[in-house]
Structure 1
Amino acid sequence: MMYIMRYTYSGESVFLSCLVKCSGRYKPDSEFRWKLPNYREINPTELHQLDQGRFHVFDISSGNLSLLISDLTEEDEGLYSCWSNENQHKSFRLTFKGCTLSETEREPKTKYTGDSVLLSCSCEDPNTKPEDFRWTHVESSGTEVSNESPRYKDRVHTFHKTTPSNLSLLISNLSEDDQGTYRCTVNNKASADTRLLVKGETVVLKSTQSLNELSMFLSVFLESLCRPAGCVLSEHHVTKSSYAGESVILPCSCEDPKTKPEHFEWKRAAVNETLVSDAEEINGRFQMIRDSPHNLFLRI
């Protein structure tokens, strides 16, 4: 049996043309019909009532039995044929262009606690619109990675609503518990894995300077305290070391990302000296970084 191939994507519409020469003895509603996938057979009148009006037949009285299907899903895939009496006029094979995942990075991604990470996952064809996809954390028994999961609540962001073929995942405020293998699965079929390594943020001092210069450097090493009001601080076990003239960022954040502390201050603990607070900025070298209200990072 010969048929015409039609390739399409989920969410689109497809037009299947079928024109039949009519005579007065034909009774369109009973003589004309479409055979659909899964052995369904239906006449034009019934088609209007099928799947909430997604199927539309044109001017039956003039022999135009063309079929328009809108808002396509992968369940619509298959063979369609237009019939009058026992004569088959046209057949169409409707095939969906699925999501073939682009190749992901083979090397693990390495990040530090408090960082953000972008896990890439996308369809090779930018016109593809996968009906279903999900991210899971393999080592934690396939825990779903979404804002609905308590473990990742308010820490993840996806991009498919604006770009359907882009299934990438952004995770913010990483902890060492986030380490592991992340799996992007499309339509319960194709999948791609990305390995994430999360390290505690410890920077080891390296110096080629003389002992006197090193001693001077150590005298400006900061053991700082962040003291915001109205939030419970996340644990940050961090040792930061750097060279004179360089910059450093010290992390500090509230456990609840919805917290918006009004009052805060950073102090140099050894001498109880305020570096910066909500009330004043002591020195231009000390700057607050608040990319989110609950983050109170300090840049020196």
Structure 2
Amino acid sequence: MKEFFYLFLFMLHFTEGCDLDQNTQRVDVTGHLGESVVLPCSCTELQAKPPQLTWTFTSLKHTTKPEEIYPNQRSERHRDRVKLLNESSPGNLSLHISNLNTEDQGEYHCSVLHQPHINITLSVQGCHLSDHGKRKEVSGYTGGSVLLPCSCTDPQTTVKFTWLLLNGSHRNEVFKNEIYKGRLKLFNESNPANLSLLISDLRKEDEGTYRCEISPTYPDITVKIKGCDLDQNTQRVDVTGHSGESVVLPCSCTELQAKPPQLTWTFTSLNHTTEPEEIYPNQQSERHRDRVKLLNESSPGNLSLHISNLNTEDQGEYHCSVLHQPHINITLSVQE
């Protein structure tokens, strides 16, 4: 008789069904962007397998009808991101959701046949980029600066993020690239939600598409750099000055805010008795010592040269040269 009694208890244990644990009938769960979360649901007997289990989802805005996400996924929203945690316990019906995003926020129902379902409300916190998926374009000038905007919707968040320069299939982290050394600045020290990037001392090679990335969200920003193209309307100019006075030799970029990567002014005497000599930025002779300066304090693209205290030896040809461009020729005559 004792053997039959133990057999009866054994069979009773394995014929008990799945009664949902009503202690978790209504639960609030918080997750974080890009991470994973577990929505709790279980049978009171963890070894009992339910005859039918369904997980459904209703968005936070209730703009759509409840959609089944387990065992069938009726939409792309949760595709390949949900699984059960019941490998060792068939009565553990908890749902694991990976790679969270803000669209996962809403109400989840764990349902077993002929029983009140379990309600779980999921909130997702963290930095969601305000311009996710959008493309912007910003312009800058060589030698100047450009601000690439990027910010979180949550002003109190602290998050790991990356700024990338995209080149085809290559993703280069700008803070690990030597060409940007000393030219980058972030604004998130005083405001963690402000992830904007400032690039200074711009160069033509800084052009490209930049990405502010907090997986899985990102905006892309295309940067255009306007360089210094010499104004060819002044390619050949005759200028007259007077002894003891000053004169301005005109030369400029078509974009007055664009700073040239390299600028040189050279001088050849009127009788061509000497080789051309550099007078700016280096003064190779005493002829123009402490008498020349540029007039570009407010406009880096104004390359005009100011010569003071003129004398007849200043007469000759002056060349304004920018890297890889035809130079500007100015002939200076000095009258007594």
TM-score by length of 1: 0.48
**Relative to total residues, which structure has the larger strand share, 1 or 2?**
2
| Largest Rg, 1 or 2 | 2
